[in-house]
Amino acid sequence: MEENENKIEEVEEIKTIEEAEEKSSNNDGIEIAEDVVSVIAGVAVSEVKGVYGMAGGFAGGISEVFSGKKNLSKGIKVNVENKEVKVDVNIIVEYGVRIPDVAFEIQNRVKKAIEAMTGLKVLETNIHVQGVNTDQTQAKVEKEPVEEVKEEQQ
């Protein structure tokens, strides 16, 4: 008889799937640092075709130089309040890409990555295009032969 009572207690402890999902999505007692969210966003941005790099401030560039490591949160500003996130992304795009398409892809990837990994809700992802990399256009110009115009001397 005692064995059956133990089984009943075990069954009562098992929650429904809905209750388990609700509890896990609440993130009660879990605090995720803004730096962690920034790194998640930075990795998502780095995977988007057309992004040449991140536009960080002077401090971000200096920290990369001294640490020798790539700063994955460079150019990303995150504000987390009440399980909601606002993200600002500062990028440099490659010359020739369609900027609205690149920005839209960044917004989608950042939102999906943050929400999937943290359970936080992304309210907005603002894209700030700070520059265009023209190294590729410079290389093309240098490779093309330049015709010299010779004046006829009389």
Confidence bin at 14 (pLDDT 50/70/90): very low
Domain coordinates of the chain in residue numbers?
Answer: 31-143
pLDDT, residue 89, reads 98
pLDDT, residue 143, reads 47
Residues 6+ apart with CB under 8 A from 92: 51, 52, 53, 54, 55, 129, 130, 131, 132, 133
pLDDT, residue 13, reads 45
The span from the CA of 92 to the CA of 95, in Å, is 9
The span from the CA of 50 to the CA of 102, in Å, is 6
Is residue 22 over pLDDT 90? no
pLDDT digits (tens, 9 = 90+) for 75-119: 999 999 999 999 999 999 999 999 999 999 999 999 999 999 999
> In terms of pLDDT, which residue wins out, 109 or 145?
109
Q: How wide is the angle at C-alpha 135 spanned by C-alphas 107 and 93, nearest 5°?
A: 10
Mean pLDDT of all residues in the chain? 78
Confidence bin at 69 (pLDDT 50/70/90): low
pLDDT, residue 154, reads 47
pLDDT, residue 42, reads 97
Q: Give the pTM.
A: 0.66
In CATH, what class is 31-143?
Answer: alpha beta
Q: What percent of the chain has pLDDT over 70?
A: 61
Is residue 152 over pLDDT 90? no
> In terms of pLDDT, which residue wins out, 50 or 6?
50
Confidence bin at 63 (pLDDT 50/70/90): very low
